[in-house]
Structure 1
Amino acid sequence: MKVISIVGARPQLVKLAPIAAAFAETEHEHFIVHTGQHYDADLSDVFFDGLGIPDPDVHLGAGSGSHGTQTGSVLTKLDPVLEREKPDWVLVYGDTNSTIAGALSAVKMHLPVAHLEAGLRSFNRRMPEEHNRILTDHCADVLLAPTAKAMDHLSDEGLKDRAVLAGDVMVDICLRIRDAVLAGEHPAPALPEGIDPERPFVLATLHRPDNTDDPQRLAAIMDSLAKLSVPVALLAHPRLVTRAAEHGINLAQGSVHVGRPLPYAGLVAAVLASSAVVTDSGGLQKEAFLLERITTTIRPETEWVETVDSGWNVLVPDPHEMSPDEWAATVSRAAPTGAPGTPYGDGRAAQNVVRIMEQWKGGSRRV
Structure 2
Amino acid sequence: MKFVTIIGARPQFVKAAAVSRIIRRNHQEILVHTGQHYDNNMSEIFFDELHIPKPDYNLGVGSGSHAKQTADMMIGIEEILLKEKPDYILVYGDTNSTLAGAIAATKIHIPIVHVEAGLRSFNMNMPEEQNRILTDRISKFLFCPTNTAVENLKAEGITQGVYDVGDVMCDAVLYYEKLINKNGKDYYFNRLEKLIEHNNPESWYLATIHRAENTDNIEKIYEILSAFEEFDEPVIFPVHPRTKEMVLQVMNENSFKNTIITQPVGYIDMLFYAKNAIKIVTDSGGLQKEAYILNTPCVTVRDQTEWVETLNGNHNILCKPNKKDIIDKVFNTKTDMENKNNYYGNGDASEKIINFLR
TM-score, normalization: structure 1?
A: 0.91
Going from structure 1 to structure 2, the CA distance change for 1:323 and 1:267 (only over 3 Å counts) comes to closer
Aligned to 1:362: none
1:208 aligns with 2:211: yes
What residue is the counterpart of 2:225 in the other structure?
222
Quick one: which amino acid aligns to residue 207 of structure 2?
A
Percent identity at matched positions?
Answer: 38
Structure-2 residue corresponding to 1:87: 86
The answer to whether the Cα contact below 8 Å between 1:279 and 1:297 also exists between their aligned partners in 2 is yes
**Counterpart residue number, 2:13:** 13
Cα deviations across residues 222-256 of structure 1 (Å, max 9, x unaligned)? Answer: 222222232110010112215547xx533772311
Structure-2 residue corresponding to 1:180: 179
Counterpart of 2:271, as a letter, is V
Letter in 1 for 2:16: L
- Report 1:115-130 matches (<5 A): 115-130=114-129
Gap change, CA 1:77 and 1:55, over 3 Å in 2 = same
Counterpart in 1 of 2:95?
A: 96
Q: CA deviation at 1:273?
A: 2.5
| Contact kept? 2:4, 2:32, Cα under 8 Å | yes
- 1:133 corresponding residue in structure 2: 132
CA contact (8 A) 1:5 1:31 kept: yes
The 5 Å alignment of 1:328-343 reads: 328-330=330-332, 333-338=333-338, 340-343=340-343
Structure 2 residue 4 is matched with structure 1 residue 4: yes
Shift of 1:68: 1.2
Unpaired stretches in structure 1, ≥5 consecutive residues:
359-367
Aligned residues of 1:278 and 1:298 also touching (Cα < 8 A): yes
Counterpart residue identity of residue 349, structure 2? A
Match of 2:344 in 1: 344
* Aligned partner letter, 1:282: G
* Shift in Å, 1:196: 5.5
Determine the structure 2 residue equivalent to 1:361.
Answer: none
Corresponding residue for 1:233?
236
Q: Retained in 2: the 8 A contact 1:195–1:233?
A: no
Letter in structure 2 aligned against 1:351: E
Match of 1:250 in 2: 251
Is the aligned partner of 1:314 residue 2:299?
no
Q: 1:162, CA displacement in angstroms?
A: 2.5
**Contact kept in structure 1, 2:8 and 2:37, CA below 8 Å:** yes
The residue aligned with 1:305 is: 308
* Counterpart residue number, 1:64: 63
Greater shift after overlay, 185-194 or 200-209? 185-194
Task: Measure how far apart 1:144 and its partner are.
Answer: 0.7
Distance 2:278 2:68 in 1: 40
TM-score normalised according to structure 2 size: 0.93
Q: CA deviation at 1:283?
A: 0.6
1:327: Cα distance to partner? Answer: 4.7
Distance in 2 between residues matched to 1:254 and 1:198, nearest whole Å: 13
- Secondary structure at the aligned position of 1:268 is classed as helix
Letter in 2 for 1:340: K
Distance 2:303 2:264 in 1: 24
Provide the rounded CA distance (Å) in 2 between the counterparts of 1:270 and 1:223: 22
Aligned-partner residue type, residue 249 of structure 1: V
Q: How far has the Cα of 1:82 moved from its partner?
A: 0.8
The separation in 2 between residues aligned to 1:161 and 1:176, in whole angstroms, is 31
Residue 143 of structure 2 corresponds to which residue in structure 1? Answer: 144
How many residues are paired up?
352
Cα deviation 1:136-164 (Å, max 9, x = unaligned): 00111111101000000000011111211
Stretches of structure 2 that go unaligned for 5 or more consecutive residues are none
Distance 2:198 2:169 in 1: 27
Label 1:103 to 1:328 Cα distance change in 2 as closer, same or farther (>3 A): closer
Task: Determine if contact 2:237/2:262 at 8 Å carries over to the other structure.
Answer: yes
Q: Partners of 2:320 and 2:135 in 1: how far apart?
A: 27
Aligned to 1:73: 72
Partner of 1:165: 164
For residues 217 and 322 of structure 2, the distance between their equivalents in structure 1, rounded to whole angstroms, comes to 15
CA distance, structure 1, for counterparts of residue 82 and residue 19 of structure 2 = 23
